[in-house]
Structure 1
């Protein structure tokens, strides 16, 4: 895998585009500069790797638009050393962005094809998240509680297990809804166990599915 001067230049152009779209969190922008998105795409998409587009990555799944990745990550309000649960490893690009920010990542993927494919790419970049093949609806209680939980697929409802595994003061960012569009939602866990809910408009994700796929 080669990360050329051309690729680095294209990344900086993408970062400028993200800034124009309202992404101002410097840690998120720096992470986009560090992580070569083209590593996570089929070679046929190399020329479009740094455009604000989603692409098929196999198993009927997609790598999200860079803006969507940046926007969701910004909503988490991460600090170095935070423990983050990611539901939907997918290509591994979002996972690598989280790692580049300096958080401790636990990530779950239900598609074995993607789980197997993402691991060596993330490792090649020098990151060591805890990756698991399993059902994201259940979260990963053995690593809880989490400072933040990020769901990278459209959920028909908010799984109770994810709420339970979040720290007080922690944030759960999840696109909610069935069909082609979901509402980007952020829940913040309060001391009394209740949640403050904020919404951030419509986004499009592949559906969050139950059970693991072989």
Structure 2
């Protein structure tokens, strides 16, 4: 089997070395997380031979698991600390939530497509990683668990939703791919400090769009 313990660990180490560290990600905690969280668990079985390749992959329902470098880059920009309460918008396969949980964050992740949410929760439990996956509309956030130290959005949004701001702690931060216009998206880090908000702009990127509502199709 290609994903027996030793083999996948070798593939993950190579992924970290050639795709992530080689592009300037130097945070040791993040490099360790990407090496230790088995990405193939979050990829459909028929595509697992590509799990450690330098590309996003389809996971069904028109959704994707992000390119490994982009997961590392967004994690670096969010800079989650152990014990912080993090809200993720767009669980997908659960891989980003798994990386955050491995780093010690208390993760609440919202997924609008019910079958994906169930699969992601199963994957996280299988690995013994503690993260709560909730079926819901990510645009509304999760007011019952607010406030959050950080919010990370893993689908392209046309705006920073007011709900995310309202559910953020003082001195918190929001990271999202913001759609500037058709075909152009860029990572935006919004940092709140002493009642003021600062915008920091980073990489251009491509994500599936953030959609409203809940889809329960099985």
1:188 and 2:191 are equivalent in the alignment = yes
CA contact (8 A) 1:38 1:49 kept: yes
In 1, the alpha carbon distance for the partners of 2:79 and 2:34 equals: 16
After TM superposition, the structure 1 = structure 2 runs for residues 11-26 of structure 1, keeping only pairs within 5 Å, are 11-17=12-18, 18-26=20-28
Contiguous gaps of at least 5 residues in structure 1 = none
Deviates more, 1:60-69 or 1:17-26: 17-26
Residue by residue, what CA displacement relative to the aligned partner does 1:27-70 show, whole Å, maximum 9, x if unpaired?
11111122100011112212211111101001100000001111
Contiguous gaps of at least 5 residues in structure 2 = none
Match of 2:8, SS state, is helix
Residue of structure 2 aligned with 1:28, choices 21, 27, 30: 30
Alpha-carbon distance, 1:130 to partner: 1.6
Alpha-carbon distance, 1:3 to partner: 4.5
Alpha-carbon distance, 1:141 to partner: 1.1
Report the TM-score when normalising by structure 1: 0.96
After TM superposition, the structure 1 = structure 2 runs for residues 168-179 of structure 1, keeping only pairs within 5 Å, are 168-177=170-179, 178-179=181-182
Alpha-carbon distance, 1:190 to partner: 2.0
In 1, the alpha carbon distance for the partners of 2:165 and 2:112 equals: 20
CA contact (8 A) 1:180 1:205 kept: no
Aligned length: 213
CA contact (8 A) 2:120 2:133 kept: no
In 2, the alpha carbon distance for the partners of 1:179 and 1:213 equals: 25
Instruction: Report the aligned-residue RMSD.
Output: 1.3
Match of 2:92, SS state, is coil
Alpha-carbon distance, 1:108 to partner: 0.2
CA contact (8 A) 2:139 2:212 kept: yes
* Structure 1 stretches of 4+ moved >3 Å: 178-181
Residue of structure 2 aligned with 1:132, choices 131, 134, 139: 134
After TM superposition, the structure 1 = structure 2 runs for residues 43-192 of structure 1, keeping only pairs within 5 Å, are 43-177=45-179, 178-192=181-195
Report the TM-score when normalising by structure 2: 0.94
